[in-house]
């Protein structure tokens, strides 16, 4: 695609605005999320490096979600700036059709869609997987080095850990209650134990103890053991549980932590897949449809504010309509993603929503003079409350 000097000028404005908005919005949301992890330092004795590593691993998910919105806002900003400086009017007077100005925005949109696709399909699942492994390591370090002698400490919801004293690198008098599954609570009691790393997984090796489990029939079973390996990732509810000596628990990664290739070639006989098939389906289609949303959001913005208009011609109403449609599309996509967990047909909406927005926007860009009056009459009842609220705020 050959860009003229005018195209490069518009592309520069839109690109700078997109980068500034993406960095700004991502930074604000990242800081709010990072504040939730301060407990890693204050409560779990981790270093600042671990703290930043944990929080930075969530950035790919933030970027994938924020980039389409940043592109939408950058498109609105660029077109408003060109209109405010009367540059759109000059271009229109020079015979440049509105759709001709989409070329630089299309170039930027392709770049953003590729970024979103890369983040959603590759970087984001890798980040979640690395975050899971790191949290497991942190949990092992927390059990071995941070929990104080004689204290009962809640490690996760429903899990309580205690040991009587420390003897070298071993913990003596271990007690752990696991009530995450109310139908089968368990109590682990052992004379001693120590943490160990086996094939990259962290285990708590218990010695000479018992496991007490209750079942639905209100009966209790007690199992005695000489040695027992408890996978510490099980404390987050993500593993199969404990295993006897000489065996190890297999960590079960959630759908969002699995690669896109593994989701496409999922073993349908896997027990976890059979119980969570809907979540696997929703995650896969959510990733595959993600690159469509930057295209839809940019075209929506251009369709409503891409033509030269004066202030009297209701440019504010056009911006409000664009924001309303983008918000409705994003909320609808989230609802479709949630519904696709239960219904396979709902997954189609993840594709139909952005594709429908793209088709409608292209029609407005090419045939706007005939379609806008009709859409304005249809949208008037929906925008009336927003216009009324805006008017009251201005009077106040």
Q: Kindly tell me if the per-residue pLDDT of 59 is higher than 80.
A: yes
338-375 burial, b if ≥16 CB within 10 A, otherwise e?
A: ebbbeeeebbebbeebbeebbebbeebbeebeeebeeb
Region 263-272 average pLDDT: 86
Cβ partners under 8 Å of residue 2, min gap 6: none
Convert the pLDDT of each residue in 287-325 to its tens digit.
999 999 999 999 999 988 877 666 555 577 788 888 989
Q: What is the pLDDT of residue 291?
A: 95
Residue where the block lists tokens 């609808």 = 332
Question: Which alpha helices (DSSP H) does the chain contain, by range?
Answer: 5-36, 39-42, 48-56, 59-84, 87-93, 102-118, 124-141, 260-264, 271-275, 277-289, 292-305, 315-339, 349-395
Convert the pLDDT of each residue in 190-243 to its tens digit.
998 887 776 666 677 888 999 888 776 677 788 888 888 877 655 554 444 444
The whole-model pTM stands at 0.73
Q: Residue ranges per domain, the chain?
A: 148-251
């Amino acid at each position: 695609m050959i860009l003229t000097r005018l195209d490069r000028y518009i592309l520069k404005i839109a690109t700078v605005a997109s980068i500034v908005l993406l960095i700004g919005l991502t930074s604000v949301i990242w800081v709010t999320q990072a504040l939730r992890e301060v407990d890693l330092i204050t409560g779990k004795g981790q270093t600042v490096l671990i703290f930043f590593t944990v929080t930075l691993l969530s950035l790919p998910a933030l970027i994938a979600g924020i980039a389409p919105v940043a592109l939408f806002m950058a498109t609105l900003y660029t077109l408003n700036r060109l209109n405010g400086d009367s540059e759109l009017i000059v271009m229109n007077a020079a015979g440049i059709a509105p759709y001709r100005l989409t070329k630089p925005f299309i170039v930027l949109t392709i770049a953003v869609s590729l970024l979103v696709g890369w983040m959603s399909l590759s970087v984001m699942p890798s980040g979640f997987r690395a975050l899971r492994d790191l949290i497991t390591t942190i949990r092992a370090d927390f059990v071995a080095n941070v929990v104080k002698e004689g204290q009962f400490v809640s490690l996760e919801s429903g899990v309580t850990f205690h040991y009587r004293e420390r003897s070298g690198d071993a913990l003596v008098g271990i007690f752990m209650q696991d009530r995450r599954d109310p139908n089968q609570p368990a109590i682990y009691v052992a004379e001693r134990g120590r943490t160990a790393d086996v094939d990259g997984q962290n285990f708590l090796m218990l010695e000479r103890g018992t496991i007490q489990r209750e079942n639905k029939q209100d009966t209790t079973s007690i199992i005695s053991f000489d040695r027992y390996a408890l996978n510490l990732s099980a404390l987050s509810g993500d593993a199969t549980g404990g295993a006897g000596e000489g065996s190890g628990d297999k960590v079960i990664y959630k759908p969002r932590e699995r690669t896109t290739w593994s989701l496409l070639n999922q073993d349908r006989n896997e027990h976890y897949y059979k119980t969570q098939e809907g979540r696997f389906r929703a995650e896969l289609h959510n990733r595959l449809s993600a690159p469509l949303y930057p295209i839809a959001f940019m075209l929506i913005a251009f369709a409503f504010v891409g033509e030269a208009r004066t202030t009297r011609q209701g440019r504010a109403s056009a911006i409000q309509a664009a924001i309303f449609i983008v918000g409705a599309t994003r909320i609808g996509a989230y609802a479709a993603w949630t519904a696709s967990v239960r219904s396979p047909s709902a997954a189609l909406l993840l594709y139909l929503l952005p594709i429908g927005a793209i088709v409608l926007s292209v029609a407005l860009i090419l045939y706007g003079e005939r379609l806008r009056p009709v859409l304005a009459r249809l949208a008037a009842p929906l925008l009336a409350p927003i216009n009324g609220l805006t008017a009251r705020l201005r009077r106040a």
